[in-house]
C-alpha cells in the first residue's frame, strides 16, 4: 500500500546537471526524479519511509540560459584536513580562490514550474509507531504551511524552489501540450547499493512524464 | 515591453559577455550571482574577524595569505570525542568523516555557514550549510553603459615606440584606451534562507547568525574598487520563524516586501529615493518576527 502526494514546485532558474557534461554544467530539459525526490525529502523524510516519484508534470515551456561564474576547481582534501587535525593548526588548510579559479558556464533552465506526484513506502527501518498515515499527514501539513527541514532547491542550492501543496482533491494545473523524447535520463543514485547511477528513458507526453517504479525493469542499472 | 532576443527557446541565451554587467537578456534585469554575494560575505568576515579562532575562511583570496599568522588549535574537542564513541555502530570511515567535518565546521566560518564539498581520498561527502543565497535581480531593467577611459602611459617600451611612430599631427601621445562598463543605477534584491535544522548540524550558532546580519549590512562598505563604484546595502529584512521548520511559505514572506517606483514610470531610476520599499505586516502568520 502506498500513499501519494502532489507538490507544485517552481523557480526562476534550475539546473539538473547532466552527469555526462559535468565541467560546464548542462541541465536536463526537465527535473529528474532524483531532484524531485530531494525536494520532497527537504520537506519531510524519515528513515522509516522511502519516497518514490511517479509522475512529473511540466507546466512551463522548456527554455535555457547560460550563466558563467568564477568557481574553484578543488574540493577539501581529506588527507590535508587529517594532517591539520593532527598538527593542531589550520595553517595551509584554506583553498586559495585565485589559484584554483575556473570560469565555468552553466546552461540552466529558466522559469520552471512542475507538479511532482510522489508516493512513499515504508522501509525495513520503520518502527512500531511509524504508521503511514502519520508520515502522510506530516508531509501534507508541512507542505501546506510552507515548512521544510531545509530549503528545497531546483538542482543546485542557488536556485531555490518555491513549493505549494496540491491538495488531494484539487484539480491539477494544465501541463504544456508538448510531446518530447527526453532520452536517457538520470533516475536516481542507488544509495542503498553501490551508489551507482540509475537511468531511465524519459518520454514527455503532453507535458507529463511517467516515472517508472524503482523496482521495474525500465530502470536501467 | 521588450523583445526576447532569441526566437528559438531551445537556443541558450547568454548571461555574461566580457566584463559587462550580468543581464537576464529576456527581461534586461541585472543579475548578481550567488557566488559573488558569498565572496563578499567571506571577505567581510576576514576583515572583521581577522584570525579569531573559529572564523577562518576556507575559500580564501590569495591576497590575505600574507598577513595571516596562524595559531594552533586543539584539533578535536572533547565533545567530538564523545560523538566518536557514541557512533560505534558506524564503519570507521563514517566516523572519521564526521570528525573531519566537525573540525572544518568548527574552524571555518564559511564551511559552517555555506557548507563545503569534502572529498578526494575518503569521501567525506558534503557539509551542507544552513545559509543559502540565490541570484540577486534588479527591480527594474538596467541599462549598462560603456565608458571609454584613457591612460596616459603605455604598457611597455615597445608599445610606446610604436605609438609615437604612428602618431600623426592630431594625436601625438602615448595614451592607452580602455573601457569601463557601468550601471548608472540599479536596485537589486536578493533572497536568502537560513535552515535551522542544518544549522544544528554544522554548529552555526545564534552569534554566527547575528554576525551574518552584520556582514550583509556591511559587506559592500569594504569592497570598494574602481569597477564597483558606490554599492551599499539599502535594506535588510529578516523574517524569523519561531519554529525550526518554519511557519510560513518563503515566497509568501518574500512577497510581503514590495518595491515600487516613486518617480514616473518613464523616468530612469537614479537613486534609492526613486524607490519605495514597503513591508506588508498584515495577517502575518503567528510565530513570526520581522527585523528590518
Cell numbers given for B63: 591576497
Tell me the per-residue pLDDT of A63-102, one tens digit each, with 9 for 90 and over. Answer: 999 998 888 888 888 888 888 888 888 877 888 888 888 8
Asked if residue B72 has pLDDT above 70, the reply is: no
A115 or A95, greater pLDDT: A115
Predicted local distance difference test score (pLDDT) of residue B85: 37
Quick one: CA dihedral A134, A135, A140, A146, positive or negative?
Answer: positive
Residue of A170, A178, A169, A163 lying closest to A59 (CA atoms): A178
Mean pLDDT throughout B186-198?
A: 96
Cell numbers given for A118: 510522489
Predicted confidence band of residue B178 (pLDDT cuts 50, 70, 90):
confident
Tell me the per-residue pLDDT of A11-58, one tens digit each, with 9 for 90 and over. Answer: 999 999 999 998 899 999 999 999 999 999 999 999 999 999 999 999
Sort B91 into a burial class: Cβ within 10 Å, 0-12 / 13-18 / 19+: exposed
Instruction: Check A69 against B15: CB less than 8 A apart.
Output: no
Ranking B1-5, B118-122, B164-168, B277-281 by mean pLDDT, the lowest is: B1-5
* Beta-strand relationship, B115-119 and A64-72: unpaired
Predicted local distance difference test score (pLDDT) of residue B18: 66
Residue B55: closest C-alpha in chain A: A90
Residue B48: its H or E element: helix B34-49
Q: How far is B63 from chain A (nearest CA, A)?
A: 9
Predicted local distance difference test score (pLDDT) of residue A94: 84
Instruction: Check A75 against B33: CB less than 8 A apart.
Output: no
Residue B95: its H or E element: helix B92-107
Cα A209 to its chain centre, rounded Å, is: 15
Predicted confidence band of residue B62 (pLDDT cuts 50, 70, 90):
low
- Tell me how far apart the alpha carbons of residues B252 and A9 are, in angstroms, rounded to a whole number: 14
Helix axes B34-49, B206-218, angle to 10 degrees: 110
User: What CA–CA distances, in Å, run from A95 to A80, A100, B133?
Assistant: 11, 8, 21
Instruction: Check A157 against B103: CB less than 8 A apart.
Output: no
Predicted local distance difference test score (pLDDT) of residue B1: 34
Which of A65, A78, A89 has the CB atom closest to B122's CB atom? A78
Three-state DSSP class for residue B251: helix
Ranking A102-116, A121-135, A138-152, A204-218 by mean pLDDT, the lowest is: A121-135
Looking at the predicted complex, does its ipTM rise above 0.85? no
Which residues are CB-neighbours of B210 under 8 A, at least 6 positions away?
Answer: none
Instruction: Specify the residue for cell string 592630431.
Output: B170
Provide the number of CB pairs (under 8 Å) joining chain A to chain B.
178
B99 or A167, greater pLDDT: A167
Which ranges of A23-131 would DSSP assign to H, the alpha helix? 33-43, 78-87
Residue B57: closest C-alpha in chain A: A94
Per CB-CB distance under 8 Å, the chain B contacts of A96 are 60-62, 65
Predicted local distance difference test score (pLDDT) of residue B258: 95
Q: How far is B281 from chain A (nearest CA, A)?
A: 18
pTM: 0.81
> Cβ–Cβ contacts within 10 Å for residue B56, how many?
25
Which of B60, B122, B133 has the CB atom closest to A95's CB atom? B60
Angle at the Cα of B186 from the Cα atoms of B28 and A24, rounded to 5 degrees = 55
Instruction: Specify the residue for cell string 503532453.
Output: A206
C-beta pairs of B225-228 under 8 Å, 24+ apart in sequence: B226/B180, B227/B19, B227/B180
Cα B27 to its chain centre, rounded Å, is: 22
Mean pLDDT throughout B236-258?
A: 93
Predicted local distance difference test score (pLDDT) of residue B228: 86
Report yes or no: B24 and A65 within 8 Å, Cβ to Cβ. Answer: yes
Query: Residues of chain B with pLDDT > 90: what percent?
Result: 47
Asked if residue B286 has pLDDT above 50, the reply is: yes
Instruction: Check B35 against A107: CB less than 8 A apart.
Output: no
- Tell me how far apart the alpha carbons of residues B86 and A126 are, in angstroms, rounded to a whole number: 22
Residue A70: closest C-alpha in chain B: B35
Sort B148 into a burial class: Cβ within 10 Å, 0-12 / 13-18 / 19+: exposed
Instruction: Check A98 against B35: CB less than 8 A apart.
Output: no
Predicted local distance difference test score (pLDDT) of residue A65: 93
Instruction: Specify the residue for cell string 598577513.
Output: B67
Instruction: Check B61 against A97: CB less than 8 A apart.
Output: yes
Per CB-CB distance under 8 Å, the chain B contacts of A109 are none
Instruction: Name the architecture of domain A3-70+108-220.
Output: 2-Layer Sandwich (3.30)
Q: How far is A22 from chain B (nearest CA, A)?
A: 15
Instruction: Check B59 against A95: CB less than 8 A apart.
Output: yes
Query: Residues of chain A with pLDDT > 70: what percent?
Result: 99
What is the full DSSP assignment across A112-156?
EEEEEEEEEEE-TT--TT--HHHHHHHHHHHHHHT--SS--EESE
Residue A9: closest C-alpha in chain B: B251
Asked if residue A163 has pLDDT above 70, the reply is: yes
Indicate the domain borders of chain A. Answer: 3-70+108-220
Instruction: Check A64 against B251: CB less than 8 A apart.
Output: no
Q: Which of B84, B111, B137, B193 to mutate to test the interface with A (most CBs of A within 10 A)?
A: B193
Q: Which residues pair with A164 in a beta bridge?
A: A8
Asked if residue B115 has pLDDT above 70, the reply is: yes
Instruction: Check A90 against B116: CB less than 8 A apart.
Output: no
Three-state DSSP class for residue B116: strand
Three-state DSSP class for residue B231: coil
Total number of residues shown for chain B: 292
Residue A72: its H or E element: strand A64-72
Mean pLDDT throughout B89-97?
A: 58
Amino acid at each position: 500500500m502506498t500513499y501519494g502526494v502532489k507538490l507544485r514546485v517552481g523557480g526562476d532558474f534550475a539546473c539538473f546537471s547532466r552527469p555526462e557534461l559535468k565541467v560546464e554544467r548542462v541541465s536536463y530539459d526537465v527535473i529528474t526524479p532524483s531532484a524531485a525526490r530531494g525536494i520532497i525529502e527537504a520537506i519531510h523524510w524519515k528513515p522509516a519511509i522511502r519516497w518514490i516519484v511517479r509522475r512529473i508534470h511540466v507546466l512551463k515551456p522548456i527554455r535555457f540560459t547560460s550563466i558563467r561564474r568564477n568557481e574553484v576547481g578543488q574540493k577539501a582534501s581529506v588527507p590535508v584536513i587529517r594532517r591539520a587535525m593532527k598538527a593542531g593548526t589550520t595553517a595551509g588548510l584554506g583553498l586559495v580562490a585565485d589559484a584554483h579559479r575556473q570560469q565555468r558556464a552553466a546552461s540552466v533552465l529558466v522559469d520552471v514550474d512542475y507538479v511532482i506526484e510522489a508516493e512513499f513506502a515504508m522501509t525495513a527501518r520503520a518502527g512500531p509507531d511509524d504508521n503511514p498515515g502519520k508520515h502522510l499527514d506530516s508531509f501534507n501539513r508541512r507542505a501546506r504551511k510552507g515548512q521544510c527541514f531545509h530549503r528545497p532547491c531546483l538542482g543546485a542550492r542557488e536556485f531555490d524552489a518555491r513549493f505549494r501543496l496540491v491538495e488531494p482533491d484539487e484539480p491539477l494545473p494544465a501541463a504544456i501540450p508538448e510531446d518530447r523524447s527526453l532520452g536517457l535520463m538520470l533516475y536516481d543514485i542507488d544509495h542503498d547499493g553501490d551508489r551507482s547511477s540509475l537511468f531511465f528513458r524519459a518520454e514527455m507526453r503532453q507535458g507529463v512524464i511517467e516515472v517508472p517504479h524503482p523496482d521495474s525493469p525500465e530502470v536501467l542499472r | 515591453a521588450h523583445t526576447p532576443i532569441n526566437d528559438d527557446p531551445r537556443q541558450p541565451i547568454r548571461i555574461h559577455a566580457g566584463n559587462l554587467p550580468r543581464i537576464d537578456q529576456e527581461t534586461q534585469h541585472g543579475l548578481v550571482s550567488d557566488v559573488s554575494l558569498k565572496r563578499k560575505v567571506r571577505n567581510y568576515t576576514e576583515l572583521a574577524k581577522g584570525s579569531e579562532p573559529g572564523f577562518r575562511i576556507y575559500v580564501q583570496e590569495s591576497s590575505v595569505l600574507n598577513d595571516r599568522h596562524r595559531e594552533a588549535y586543539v584539533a578535536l574537542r572533547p565533545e567530538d570525542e564523545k560523538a566518536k564513541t557514541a557512533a560505534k555502530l558506524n564503519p570507521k570511515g563514517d566516523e572519521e568523516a564526521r570528525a573531519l567535518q566537525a573540525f572544518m565546521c568548527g574552524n571555518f566560518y564559511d564551511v559552517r555557514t555555506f557548507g563545503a564539498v569534502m572529498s578526494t581520498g575518503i569521501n567525506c561527502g558534503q557539509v551542507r550549510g544552513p545559509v543559502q543565497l540565490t541570484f540577486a535581480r534588479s527591480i527594474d531593467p538596467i541599462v549598462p553603459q560603456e565608458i571609454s577611459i584613457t591612460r596616459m602611459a603605455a604598457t611597455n617600451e615597445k608599445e610606446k615606440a610604436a605609438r609615437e611612430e604612428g602618431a600623426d599631427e592630431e594625436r601625438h601621445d602615448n595614451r592607452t584606451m580602455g573601457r569601463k562598463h557601468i550601471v548608472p543605477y540599479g536596485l537589486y534584491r536578493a533572497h536568502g534562507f537560513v535552515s535551522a535544522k542544518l544549522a544544528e548540524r554544522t554548529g552555526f550558532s545564534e552569534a554566527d547568525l547575528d554576525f551574518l546580519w552584520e556582514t550583509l549590512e556591511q559587506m559592500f562598505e569594504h569592497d570598494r574598487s574602481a569597477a564597483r563604484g558606490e554599492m551599499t546595502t539599502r535594506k535588510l529584512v529578516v523574517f524569523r520563524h519561531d519554529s525550526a521548520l518554519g511557519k510560513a511559505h518563503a515566497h509568501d514572506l518574500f512577497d510581503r516586501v514590495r518595491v515600487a517606483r516613486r518617480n514616473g514610470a518613464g523616468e530612469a531610476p537614479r537613486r534609492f529615493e526613486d524607490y519605495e520599499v514597503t513591508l506588508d505586516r498584515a495577517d502575518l502568520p503567528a510565530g513570526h518576527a520581522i527585523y528590518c
